[in-house]
Copies of this chain bind each other. A is one copy, B any other.
Amino acid sequence: MTTLTAATPRKLEVKDFKADVPPDWCPGCGDFGVLNVLQKACAELEIPPHELLVVSGIGCSSNLPGFFRSYGVHSLHGRALAFATGAKLANHRLTVIVTGGDGDGYGIGLNHFIQAMRRNINLTYIVMNNEIYGLTTGQVSPTSEPGMVTKSTPMGNLEQMLNPLALALASGCGYIARGFSGDPKHLQKLYMDGIQYPGFALIDVFSPCVTFNKQNTYHWFRDHVYRLEDKGHDPTNFHAAMDRAIEWGAKIPIGLFYRNPNPRPSLDKLDPALQGEPLVLKPRGLTAEQRRALVEEFM
């Protein structure tokens, strides 16, 4: 990360990333962990808050930017990645982190998710996956387990779970990880690596909704998750990553699934208009000569 301004005078601390507004999530919500760890990761990475843009959609999880001290955007449900892409292209020196929920990113926003990975826009996408629609008070989500009873599926969910990690692998995403809000140390490492990865980085985080998801609780996750790092998983191996990505049963892996050993150049490295200064710092308008030449084309 090159910085827009002179080096910050003092070492950054977690409190530098805390907004004045305290989080209003339900006590015990998994999103607290996601937020706290992100604040730690950004402090350790020494990203000046004003060069950091955190963009979210709409959902409980998407309230995160309001509790995080940096530039923030609380955009539309499902549209955070699109908004963030525009902002990143306008100023590619910003560190851009997108945060949201499973409904936001894997439901209504799924198209942007897949295309952003394909497009390889250089940002970090953190999904607080609670396998439920929290803010709208508990309906089924694309990541809800089959059979799950929710307000909109009182007879049980009839659909198969969407698999964000497998989709990410199929879409050319270069950094694919899954964390658990109940395992903050492990999560922090994933954040730090993901933010530093020179391309689109996905971090799906199990972040329990204590109010509406009575099935995938902290307890349930603790029972099920294991760390890939403990099993000698090779994150440079696409096939191994796919095998782990489709694993969902008695045991569910967390950790770094895949890291492209030869990262593709991200979009800002390729677009001719983005070479050198970011667009927002480029000189204004066109020269008289440029303008004349444009008009000449029509004559």
Contact = CB atoms under 8 A, between A and B. Distances in A.
Interface string A225-252: 0000000000000110011011000000
A114 B115 CA distance: 13
Number of copies: 2
A158 B239 contact: no
Contacts of A171: 162-163, 166-167
Given A111-B110, A114-B114, A170 B160 contact: no
Nearest to A272: B155
Interface string A95-137: 0000000000000101100110011100000000000000000
Say what secondary structure dominates the interface of chain A.
Answer: helix
| Residue among A111, A166, A169, A246 with the highest chain B CB neighbour number at 10 A | A111
Contacts of A246: 238
A50 interface: no
Interface of A: 108, 110-111, 114-115, 118-120, 142, 155, 158-163, 166-167, 169-172, 238-239, 242-243, 245-246, 264, 267, 270-272
29 contacts: A108-B111, A110-B110, A110-B111, A110-B114, A111-B111, A114-B114, A114-B167, A115-B142, A118-B160, A118-B162, A119-B160, A120-B159, A155-B272, A158-B271, A159-B267, A160-B172, A162-B171, A163-B170, A163-B171, A163-B172, A166-B171, A167-B167, A167-B170, A167-B171, A170-B170, A170-B245, A238-B246, A239-B239, A239-B242
